[in-house]
Structure 1
């Protein structure tokens, strides 16, 4: 079909779907950039879905670790410093029942990352939950039942570094809690049984070893621009320099909250300790490669295409 014929066909299809020639068709990408079809976004008669933030945690100290805790680290905590407040606030990977926040009897706050609601901007949602928890009575649960609308983000409310502690299980749920009837202990036992062993590596930021059944992996949240990091990984892959240990290999990556999370498959029995040196060496290697601004060569472009095809986007 010639160019003129294709143009006429698209116009006819748009008209058939109820759109004027030249207008956005229902099945075309929405002009807002959300990635949704127009009919499911700003072309929806019921109104557009909640706002989508491509990189919601940008600018936060510890952005990469926060993404790791939100997406794949089962049990971890990190204290948060709230601007202008001396309240004790602890960021948690997961809380009982995936509740967004718990205000403890002593007034301290547990703020959960792995939650069931999704209103497009998790940083804004976390800030809304945190503000509500700061106003709530001790001994209560806090959550979101509807889109909180415009408001501050987590970046607006907190300051300081994010110091992560990875736990073997969810025993932190019981810190300072009187579980006289044993009801929480039963919930805790069930939750702990499902925890995959996970270790945050020393010496580098946001690199996590985990064992899933008999398989071991390293998942490393990287803060660089996605395209720049992909170029660097492609150069190393094409040169055969993207492995960490003998028998291990880079198998793909997640895309989460605007950053990439490369994933290495590791030989059984590798363990976390054996990765500390190799990962530190690779960190230096990739830093040097990131500074290489030359256009990719043919083999590198092919490697980049292969890595791109092995991406899984999670939001």
Structure 2
């Protein structure tokens, strides 16, 4: 981090000397929350949830972010960097409850700190499944450093529309950077996820896409990119949980919920392209995903997992889902 190039912003600042780039953070360990989370896809959360480490700030500044309490780069961080040993102890206490998956959320600008935590766990004989949960705006060079460290990539693929990426996330180059990053993740993990005997993920790639109101053309373009450039056989998580935060409630498009007709049109394209593995959300899931990071347990008020797996249903039925098949081998 002496000449920080961790993400596509390429700020080049010396974060170890206290300089701050786009993310607004120095080289310390800036964690907003370490918590049990039951709201991820069923193969991640399982019945007991997973341990998620939420880093502060982000290399994307999405105007509609549901984690805006901690993701805004102008947010003042109480107390400064977290003590490394205290963070490690909190993670180990959660792992001791039987949790076997450890997720790092918005880790792109904190990769060295994440790697240090994982290596410290390994030194203590702890080997949880490591999940890299990111916005998809990644440097291929950084991802290559993670090969062998990360077990599961859980990236967003937000945009294939540069104008929309600029307006919503301040990153007009998102489509090209995310495309390159997803190709690298796919190279590392292949198409088919590996599940254990309980149907929980051990290794693989699941790509998320949040459908935005008024932007079905962008969603269709994302699905077509994934099918054409990667594979319609990859695991997809199609999300309907969009709910406007305070920043966008007056926005002409982003200020409303997703319409059933909009989501149905994207689901229809998903089926037309032949996606057969993953998850789709019920439209009502927008009620279930509002964390409050001012509390010790930000997700206590969750209504539960809105992501459910089931057998495929005919196109005429709403809320249809696709199944994630178990595999013990990596298929590229």
TM-score range, shorter chain: under 0.3
| Structure in which a larger fraction of residues adopt strand | 1
TM-score normalized by the length of structure 1: 0.24
Q: Which has the higher contact order (CA 8 A, sep 6+)?
A: 2
Return the index of the structure with the highest Cα Rg.
1
Q: How high is the TM-score relative to the length of structure 2?
A: 0.23
